[in-house]
Amino acid sequence: MNKFLFLLSEGLKNLWRHKLTVFTAVFSVFLSLSTIGVLFIAEQNTHKLIEYMRSKYKIEVFFKDTVTNEQAGQAVEKIKMIQGVYTTTLIPKEEALKVYKSQFGDDITEFLDYNPLPASCVVNIKRKYDGYLQITPIIEQIRKIDGVDTVNHQGRLISRIEKFYEQGLLGLSGVAFAIILVTVMIISNTIKLTIYANKDLIKALRIIGATNTFIRMPFILEGVFQGIIGTILASGLLYGAVYGANEVLRQLTAFTINVQWLFLSWLFLIAMVISLFGSSRAISKFLK
């Protein structure tokens, strides 16, 4: 217990003793976590936007003239089973006639003596869908169903948006990974500099019989404390930025930035991993 308290206090005192290197490391953690946080918030809100757009996707399926309402109903049941389909609305021939009449004002059965409008169906796509929603396979499957005549859709546009979204996600993950890697290197090198500056301390500790764990611990704790400070600062900045941005957005639009603040605990975890890995890497190389 005495040893643990000593090592803990040494870790804390080191923050003051190595002010300059601590500042560099804290600033690196702060910058990287802030960037990762911004990327995460952007991802969350882009996802919301994509979900909204997906709710607007509509596929119109027209059945052949010969298809009865009952047969169309059976085909609609098959459409419902396709993966990625959220809802289906059957528009029977009579309903189509009513729509036509309400939109154009004419009753075409008066001229033709029969209803020429086919039964149709409106298909909505699932909003919650992990990653890239591929619309083409859905359309292909609908086309294969018996009785389907034509399928109207905004397939190309949807595909482009979805593909862009997927590539964006991949890009963001890559950027976040690169940032984490660079931060580990910065912290590792910063602590390596601190260790070089403390060669006498390490030499003194070795000759008086300190174990490698005892020598290592204050440096690792110093790294962890740097991570904690960096996370607190980054969390403060992100919270303040989102709060400020929402205040402005509320006055201009109905859209606000939504954040699941639980992600801060992920940031904290990332910071701990970065700091622990960075400091352990540096000290281990030195104590070999």
Q: Is the Cβ of residue 144 or residue 288 nearer to another protein in the bound state?
A: 288
In the complex, least distance from residue 194 CB atom to another protein, rounded to whole angstroms: 12
Q: Whole-number minimum distance, CB 284 to another protein, in Å?
A: 14
As measured in angstroms, the least distance from the Cβ of 195 to another protein is 14
Query: At its nearest, how many Å lie between another protein and the CB of residue 5?
Result: 9
Contacts of 96 (CB under 8 A, 6+ apart): 115, 117, 118, 119, 120
Q: How far is the CB of 20 from another protein (least distance, A)?
A: 13
Between residues 20 and 204, which has the closer beta carbon with respect to another protein?
A: 204
Q: What are phi and psi of 150, to 5 degrees?
A: -130, 155
Query: Closer to another protein at the Cβ: 50 or 191?
Result: 191
Rank residues 9 and 68 by Cβ distance to another protein and give the closer one.
9
Question: According to DSSP H, which parts of the chain are helical?
Answer: 2-17, 19-56, 69-80, 93-104, 109-112, 136-143, 155-197, 199-207, 212-252, 263-287
In the complex, least distance from residue 208 CB atom to another protein, rounded to whole angstroms: 4
**CB-wise, 64 or 206, nearer to another protein?**
206
Burial class of residue 218 (count of CB atoms within 10 Å of its CB; 0-12, 13-18, 19+): buried
- Distances in whole angstroms, Cα of residue 113 to Cα of each of 98, 164, 233: 15, 50, 76
Query: Number of C-alpha atoms within 13 angstroms, CB side, residue 170?
Result: 8
Longest dimension (CA), the chain: 108
47 vs 206, which CB is nearer to another protein? 206
Strands 148-152 and 85-91, bridge-based pairing: unpaired
| Residue with Cβ nearer another protein (221 or 274) | 221
Report phi then psi at 68, rounded to 5: -80, 170
What's the rounded Cα separation, in Å, for the pair 56 and 30? 39
Report the distance separating Cα 30 and Cα 33, nearest Å. Answer: 5
Q: How far apart are CA 192 and CA 186, in angstroms?
A: 10
Q: Which of 121, 160, 129 is nearest to 52 (CA)?
A: 129
**Of 4 and 111, CB closest to another protein:** 4
CB of 199 to another protein, least distance (A): 9
In whole angstroms, how close is the CB of 283 to another protein at the nearest point? 16
Residues that bind another protein (CB under 8 A): 2-3, 6, 17, 200-201, 203-211, 214
